[in-house]
Structure 1
Amino acid sequence: MLNRRRFLAGTGAAAVGAAAASGSASARAADEAGRDDRKDRATVIAHRGFADTYPENTVAAFEQSVQGGSDDAADRRGADWIELDVFPTCDGEIAVFHDTELGELTDTDGVLYETPASEVFAAEVLESGQTVPSLTEAMEAIPSNVGVNIDIKEGSPDVEFGRIDDPEAEREEWEWLETVVDVATDYDNELLLSTFWEGALATVRDIDPDVPAAYLLYDSIQEGLDVTDKYDAEGVNPPLDMIYGTPFFDDEAYEEIDVVAEAHARDLPVNVWTINTWYEVEQLIEAGVDGLFLDYSEIVRWGGLQS
């Protein structure tokens, strides 16, 4: 059986999250023994640094997201992994931000990849006093025992979303990913580079085949599995409504394929986005998923208290 607490990168190691740094001897012992069901339910992934709790994709959000223990029933549940998004600036720096346009979330207008780093990194996020960080600043803020899922966004209007016929034709447009890989691999965190863009996935494989990577599923389960197989990916990251056998499965949009079973047959973890209620958490854990992308961590607590 797949260990649902394994690292997303498929190493088989237990994801200890922030508990080891919490100073609780009993929490550490339970993690090491692997006998506490409340800690063995699913990997908690802070989506943009728990985006409904803190100003998303900021250094402060990442610092706060890892605070707490790895016990789902704890008063404060810390992240085992952090998910963040990356874009290039027009002068080659790597910014941690989700939207192509800066204006929705910051006090600065413009397309991110057409804007110089000096302006991007000065932009205030959601009137929080926090500014858009660089990837280096983000990695510095995340403890080494917390995994990092780097979600690659487009760095050019000339790349095609999703699966494409000739990924190599886009190679030049994705050259900035060399900087992403260089920065991320300079740290000791477990990594998973994920993306909706096949051209980006192909480029990551060209740059460093040893960097764990995953294709983000979106409109076809079979196509997502095909791309996963093509690039020998280390994870399967589907949306909530792709999980067969749950109340959320959309049988009008997707093939009747059990993506959890298919992923586990490949010995790959399944990490589901984006979860917003305790009920979704419990149904997904029951379905056997391995990781949960959460906007706030407290929704795992109900099930933890029932264990």
Structure 2
Amino acid sequence: MHARAVAATTTALLGTAALLLPSSDVRAADDGERPTVIAHRGASAYAPENTLAAVDTAARLGIQWVENDVQRTKDGKLVVIHDDSLQRTTDVEQVFPSRAPWKVKDFTAAEIARLDAGSWFGPSYAGTHVPTLEQYVHRVDRNHQKLLLEIKNPTLYPGIEQQTLKVLSNEGWLDSGHLASRLIVQSFSADSVRTVHQLKPGVKTGLLGTPSVADLPALAQFTDQINPSHTTITTGYVATVHAFDGAHGKPLEVFAWTVNSAETARQVAGYGVDGLISNKPDVVRDATGGS
């Protein structure tokens, strides 16, 4: 724990609830700090989420960082999709009407590749597919972008952490250049984040959610970020997180989600967060001067 954590300990004595009360202590937007802007599921306000089209849209907008979700098929392939069901973002009900509830884990990669993952968003995206993780990282690399990868529902997919790291390694994403500045792996599961850190200590990691201040010392042993919903944080909470050094010896960072309006972006940037995850990353970037 860094010496700055003395201040965090003092704050912790006030109780986590106090930290989460509304705060008027909002950092000025002109203090020189500009948050990183991350395209949530790609630029998902403008193209179907978690598709190569969303990655390309983010690139056209000049957004360097994209976020995605990884789950596993029946035959053990990793695919990029948010829900554990295919129902919301594909035409699986029409293609496989008798296989409700249409869980990702109950379909092979070949079956999922048959699905239309774009028409639900708009007719111009008809024929868009659910990408494999390999296809996704190829496109991110081709666009010279950076990746915030979420391991989704890890309890449904035992061993998915090791498998994800293997795919990343096979595709060249665990070399020194990617590890230094182009890859973060996150999850809502502290156990999953800890596993990633243990398997590949060089990978930068993030824990989704808003853990209590009391839990931060233990979490800082294996994570580099605390990534909460923007509705759950204040200036005080962010400052307390920053007071701890994470797994790689640097202050814990905070990437807040999902921030979609200019007004909210300016407010949350004022809390001192390091990153803003958004469906409309261009709006957030323009509002905050972020990159």
Q: State the TM-score bracket (shorter-chain normalisation).
A: 0.7 to 0.9
CA shift digits 1:132-160 (9 cap, x unpaired): 00011011111374220111112554xxx
Give the structure-1-normalised TM-score. 0.69
- Pair 1:147 & 2:146 matched: yes
Partner residue in 2 for 1:200: 192
2:260 matched to which residue of 1?
276
CA contact (8 A) 1:174 1:199 kept: no
**Distance in structure 2 (CA, Å) of the matches to 1:42 and 1:122:** 39
Offset at 1:124? 1.4
Aligned-pair identity in percent equals: 29
Residue in structure 1 matched with residue 50 of structure 2 by the alignment? 57
Paired residue for 2:80? 96
Checking the alignment, whether the CA contact within 8 Å between 2:265 and 2:284 is kept in structure 1 is: yes
- 2:273 aligned with 1:295, yes or no? no
CA distance in 1, matches of 2:32, 2:65: 14
Classify 1:269/1:122 alpha carbon distance in 2 versus 1 (closer, same or farther; 3 Å). same
Of stretches 38-47 and 235-244 in structure 1, the one that deviates more from structure 2 is 38-47
Q: Give deviations 1:260-300, integer Å, cap 9, x for gaps.
A: 11222121221000001101111112211110001012323
> How well do the aligned residues superpose, as a CA RMSD in angstroms?
2.4
**How many Å separate the matches in 2 of 1:99 and 1:149?**
17
- Aligned equivalent of 1:18: none
Mapping for residues 61-100 of structure 1, pairs under 5 Å: 61-68=54-61, 78-100=62-84
Q: State the number of aligned residues.
A: 231
- Change over 3 Å in CA distance of 1:302–1:179 after alignment to 2: closer
Question: Counterpart amino acid of 1:240?
Answer: H
Q: In the TM superposition, what whole-angstrom CA distance separates every residue of 1:120-140 from its partner, at most 9, and x where no partner exists?
A: 222211412210000110111
Tell me the equivalent position of 2:132: 134
Q: How far apart, in 2, do the equivalents of 1:217 and 1:112 lie?
A: 24
SS in 1 for 2:92: coil
Unaligned 5+ runs, structure 1: 1-36, 69-77, 158-172, 246-257
Comparing 196-205 with 46-55, which one deviates more in the overlay?
A: 196-205
Q: Do 2:46 and 2:57's aligned partners in 1 also have CA atoms closer than 8 Å?
A: no
Q: 2:240 aligns with which of 235, 256, 262?
A: 262
1:153 partner amino acid: K
Deviation at 1:224, TM superposition (A): 5.8
| 1:66, distance to aligned residue in structure 2 (A) | 1.5
| Unaligned residue ranges in structure 2 (runs of 5+) | 1-29, 94-101, 120-124, 245-250
The TM-score normalised by the length of structure 2 is: 0.72
Counterpart residue identity of residue 54, structure 2: A
Moved more, 114-123 or 99-108: 114-123
State whether residues 85 and 151 of structure 1, in contact with CA within 8 Å, keep that contact through their aligned partners in structure 2. yes
Matched-pair contact (CA < 8 Å) for 2:35–2:288: no
The structure whose RCO (Cα within 8 Å, separation 6+) is larger is: 2
